Structure 1
Amino acid sequence: MPANEAAWEVLSAGGAALDAVEAGARDSESDPDNHSVGLGGLPDRDGNVTLDACIMDSRGDCGSVAFLSQIENPVSVARLVMEKTPHVMLVGEGALEFAVANGFARRELLTPAARAQWQKWKANAPDAVRERAINVENHDTIGIVAMDDSGDLAGACTTSGLAWKMHGRVGDSPIIGAGLYVDDEVGAATATGVGEAVIRAVGSFLVVELMRQGHTPQQACRLAAERVVSKNPDWATLQVGFIAIDKEGRVGGYSLQPGFEYAVYDRSGNRLVDAPSRVR
């Protein structure tokens, strides 16, 4: 909801969808109480906070960063990758060097609250495994898609990834077509949940292509979730959710497991929607 407020402030002033999705993502990244992204994100199993993000505009231009540390707003670094380099993705030390060279300040991202959660997990985890069981609490993502007054679409996706992940793990969030996809002729979609499952289905691209075939955003999200099921025999043990918007401004969302909410802001106001799910 706060991310939508930040994005709507841009849109309601006649701003571009690209600026709106960046503003919304940054709002979540800079919230130390949001343990899914940016500052305050939960660390990997070694106690390192590493971030992934991407952004995509109405022209199909896109930028991405993965395995980025010490930078509070990876979505803005991803935008600069899109605008200042011939590349789509920078990772790790290279992404950090690029961010610092472009004026981003290094900072400690592991907050006392996140550190306490990590230390509690580490004390209870088996020494040989040091990984937490998959559940709907430890792998959230901020994905945001928007349409501006010109009818242009844009999207952004940002995350600190699966809590207690192996060091170096990257999920779907920074991968164009998996965690996010925008086609200004059709619509835009983004994903949340267990990234490996979304990658196997190229989930967000699939949602957009289903809308291209004539499905509504709601139908497309449901059909993409069914593809995730077909590609992941263990689907009943994990959560994946999609949200989408089409060129008519219609929106939809769907998840595998119940409990997935997404926020919609339009001229009627800002509201939470309880998405339908495969498991009821």
Structure 2
Amino acid sequence: MDRRKFIHNTTLAGTGLATGATLLGCKNESGKVDAFAKAEKQSAFKPSPIAICTWNFSGATARAGELLSQGKSALDAVIAGVAVEEENEENSTVGIGATPDREGNVTLDACVMNPAGDCGAVLAVENIVNVAALARKVMEDTPHVILAGRGAEEYAYKAGFKKQPLLTEQRKLEWEEWLKTSNYKPAINVENHDTIGMLAIDGDGDIAGACTTSGLGYKMKGRVGDSPIIGSGLFLDNEVGGAVATGMGEEVLKTVGSFLIVELMRSGMSPQEACEEAVYRITRKNNRYKDFQVAYIAMNKSGDTGSFCIHKGFNMMKWQENKNDVIESKAFI
């Protein structure tokens, strides 16, 4: 076959594939509208504003819901919502009062995404409480997506953030007690290794998300988990929906869990089905899954929500129409 004939035949084959894909985008043999048409229909529907977050952080969703009720954007709502926990000294996994690493240093990670698909993240930041807001600054005011460590901290000061020590006296005492044994084994569903991830839909039907954490308690210096990594700790597509993760970040990273959930919803799965499949991927590939927790929450463009985890004990908060409800998650085990 000469080159011209080869190219001609290849073009015909490609056209056939494209036509097939177009037909799949309309109806299958049984006459049912497939995932593409379903997603298009979902994106045209505008539910009443919603905010959901990982774990029982009712104050966070209440704050986000308050802003949504005022007509504020989804991005404004999630940043303000997670800030409630970043500023809560009693929360040992987020912001000020978080558990330090093995050397006694508190380092924070966060990321955000807006409805346009823009994103920003900061990793291993010290002395800054509201790192989700800092990640937003990186997204909106710099040419970059990620700033890390000292560079992120120095940028925060230039952007107007105040320096504030993050290690409280209570966490210091706990760390000093931990040093006596240095036993490192994160406990399932005990808040020494979790995060707050939040998704919101505003009055315009737009979706935004934020994720903020101190990471694993007594982690190695420099360790970063899934939370600030776009596609793992958080991912959204404003035409489809969004997802966030919590639990053992190393396991979420291996399957790019939040991105996977959004793509599964794009293909037609409900948020609940997509969260379940993402957890199944982990349990199928890792026979040690009984030793750690991973949990996901998700929301699609229609406002449908879902959650799933490996071990019982995980829950999510959902705010909608001035109701703030705790939803217990179904579990693999």
Matches within 5 A, 1:163-174: 163-174=217-228
Q: Which runs of 5+ in 2 are unaligned?
A: 1-57
Q: What CA distance in whole angstroms lies between the structure 2 residues aligned with 1:44 and 1:252? A: 32
Task: Give the counterpart letter for 1:6 in structure 2.
Answer: R
Provide the identity percentage: 48
User: Which residue does 2:230 correspond to in 1?
Assistant: 176
**Structure 2 residue 216 is matched with structure 1 residue 162:** yes
User: Which residue does 1:227 correspond to in 2?
Assistant: 281
Q: What CA distance in whole angstroms lies between the structure 1 residues aligned with 2:157 and 2:185? A: 33
Q: Which portions of structure 1, spanning 4 or more consecutive aligned residues, are displaced by more than 4 angstroms?
A: none
**Structure 2 residue 188 is matched with structure 1 residue 135:** yes
User: Which residue does 1:187 correspond to in 2?
Assistant: 241
Q: What CA distance in whole angstroms lies between the structure 2 residues aligned with 1:7 and 1:31? A: 16
Matches within 5 A, 1:12-23: 12-23=69-80
Q: Is the 8 A contact 1:255 1:278 kept in 2?
A: yes
**Structure 2 residue 299 is matched with structure 1 residue 245:** yes
Deviations 1:139-182 (A, max 9, x none): 11000001001000000000000000000000000000000001
Moved more, 74-83 or 232-241: 232-241
TM-score (norm 1): 0.96
Moved more, 79-88 or 228-237: 228-237
Q: What CA distance in whole angstroms lies between the structure 1 residues aligned with 2:287 and 2:220? A: 22
Task: Give the counterpart letter for 1:79 in structure 2.
Answer: R
User: Which residue does 2:128 correspond to in 1?
Assistant: 71
User: Which residue does 2:266 correspond to in 1?
Assistant: 212
Matches within 5 A, 1:17-96: 17-96=74-153
Partner-residue secondary structure (3-state), 1:90 = strand
Q: Which runs of 5+ in 1 are unaligned?
A: none
Q: Is the 8 A contact 2:234 2:244 kept in 1?
A: yes
Q: Is the 8 A contact 1:52 1:173 kept in 2?
A: yes
1:267 to 298, 321, 324: 321
Q: What CA distance in whole angstroms lies between the structure 1 residues aligned with 2:284 and 2:130? A: 35
Q: Is the 8 A contact 1:47 1:118 kept in 2?
A: yes
Report the Cα offset of residue 9 of structure 1. Answer: 1.0
Report the Cα offset of residue 113 of structure 1. Answer: 1.5
Deviations 1:29-67 (A, max 9, x none): 000011110000100011100000000010000000000
Task: Give the counterpart letter for 1:68 in structure 2.
Answer: V
Considering only CA atoms, is the larger Rg found in Structure 1 or Structure 2?
2
Q: What CA distance in whole angstroms lies between the structure 2 residues aligned with 1:263 and 1:66? A: 26
User: Which residue does 1:98 correspond to in 2?
Assistant: 155
Q: What CA distance in whole angstroms lies between the structure 2 residues aligned with 1:255 and 1:132? A: 19
TM-score (norm 2): 0.81
Q: Is the 8 A contact 1:263 1:270 kept in 2?
A: yes
Change (3 A) 1:231 1:95: farther
Higher relative contact order by CA 8 Å / sep ≥ 6: 1 or 2? 2
Q: What CA distance in whole angstroms lies between the structure 1 residues aligned with 2:228 and 2:286? A: 21
